[in-house]
Amino acid sequence: MAHSSGATRARGRRARRTCVATAHAERRRTNAPRAPTTRERAIVDAARARTQRCDDDVGARARAGEVAVMLAPKKARVVAYARGEDGVGATARCVIGIREYERERVIAGGGDGMLRNMADAWCRQRVFVSCASDGVSEFDRAVVKVCATSISALGDFDRALAPMDEDFDEGDDIDAYEFIDVTPASTRAIVRGMNEGRERARASVAACSTSSSREFFNSARESIGAVMKTESRRGQSRAVFAALYHEDRGVYDVAANVNGDNKALHAEMCLLLPIKAGLAPLARQAPAHGKLIEPRSNVLVTLQCCRMCAALIREFSDIERVTYATADDGPLAKSTALQREPIAEFPFHDFDT
């Protein structure tokens, strides 16, 4: 009897594999987007139920019902999930959060937490977000493009037509999975990037006392040259600096890359994401109007913005333009939100010689 039951299950698995392979072949033939499977939908539903239990605690800070999940690599029954909160979407929080969570786990186990591939195995998995694609911001998509792999918005697909998973039975207990809420880890990452990014920039660049963009770029160039002579790129944060500049105040805020242990913490992210998330200290407000960013400010950055940082900058109406010192010809700096609006991004050519 047991043998018969085992044979039946084996036939069922083979049938599901055939069904999945057929669906994949058809998707490749038609170039259609990948539809989430029954198991993936069930996991997102379970994660959403967990976030709804937290909504009473976070109140208006949470985006009602929005959740993003990533499945652990190697088919482990572990799920990382995050909710949208404090102006930062669930997708961005999920990617940033799992990278910070893995960093903290390595450090807790005795590692130094300074590996650039932290959580790469996780981030090679697809991100699933509970809303439709029109609810996923350009910034969220850009975070996936730069720091993860791909995304599926479940709201774009008919639940009744969800394909089967080759290794999923209707009787599988989703509650047996381990669910890790990485929303708090994403907040810790944003705060750490804000603090460490500013500390590193202020230790490396004589920026906060500069009155012109020319002084900032010259100081940053000297610092980058010194770093490149003394540090290996592997396992270290790339020497990139970003600043907020206003013609009346000069450079009034500055940050550096700290992406050596979390790929999302680019200099522009350390500079601006805490403001977007409402985490930047009020002490940095401009005295005249109580804002953290002066109207008609410029972002100065030593390396041309990637898609993620460009999309973040475009969310701030008080930022008028971006000036970069070095062009980035890498694929992640192509077709950015700033490049689609040519007046917003300019190269800087006025270095001291």
Domain final residue, candidates 161, 181, 201: 181
Under 8 Å between Cβ of 312 and 351: no
* pLDDT tens column, 141-187: 999 999 999 999 988 777 777 676 655 555 567 888 999 999 999 99
| DSSP secondary structure letters along 113-155 | S--TTTTHHHHTSPEEESS-GGGS-HHHHHHHHHHSS-EEEGG
Q: 326 has which bridge partners?
A: 303
Domain annotation covers residue 239? yes
* pLDDT tens column, 112-154: 655 556 689 999 999 999 998 888 999 999 999 999 999 999 8
> How many domains are contained in the chain?
2
105 and 43 in a single domain? The answer is yes
121 and 248 in a single domain? The answer is no
Q: What is the pLDDT of residue 29?
A: 46
Q: Between 30 and 276, name the one with better pLDDT.
A: 276
Under 8 Å between Cβ of 338 and 344: yes
172 and 239 in a single domain? The answer is no
207 and 335 in a single domain? The answer is yes
CA atoms within 13 A on the CB side of 284: 20
140 and 284 in a single domain? The answer is no
How many angstroms separate the CA atoms of 330 and 341, rounded?
19
> What tokens were used for 207?
């920026």
Domain annotation covers residue 18? no
Whole-model pTM?
0.83
How many angstroms separate the CA atoms of 29 and 48, rounded?
33
Name residues whose C-beta falls within 8 Å of residue 339's C-beta, 6 or more positions apart in sequence: 310, 345
- Average pLDDT value over all residues in the chain: 82
Q: What is the pLDDT of residue 76?
A: 83
Domain region containing 169: 33-181
Domain annotation covers residue 20? no
Under 8 Å between Cβ of 223 and 303: no
89 and 136 in a single domain? The answer is yes
79 and 168 in a single domain? The answer is yes
102 and 144 in a single domain? The answer is yes
CATH number of the domain within which 256 lies: 3.40.140
172 and 198 in a single domain? The answer is no
Please report which confidence band the pLDDT of residue 353 belongs to, taking 50, 70 and 90 as the band edges. Answer: very low
Domain final residue, candidates 181, 201, 225: 181
Q: What is the pLDDT of residue 234?
A: 45
Please report which confidence band the pLDDT of residue 32 belongs to, taking 50, 70 and 90 as the band edges. Answer: low
Domain final residue, candidates 138, 159, 181: 181
Under 8 Å between Cβ of 151 and 145: no
* pLDDT tens column, 307-321: 999 999 999 999 999
Output the CA–CA distances (angstroms, integers) from residue 235 to 187, 263, 265, 319, in the order listed: 23, 11, 14, 32
* pLDDT tens column, 208-266: 556 788 889 988 888 776 554 445 444 566 789 999 999 988 999 999 999 988 999 99
Q: What is the pLDDT of residue 297?
A: 94
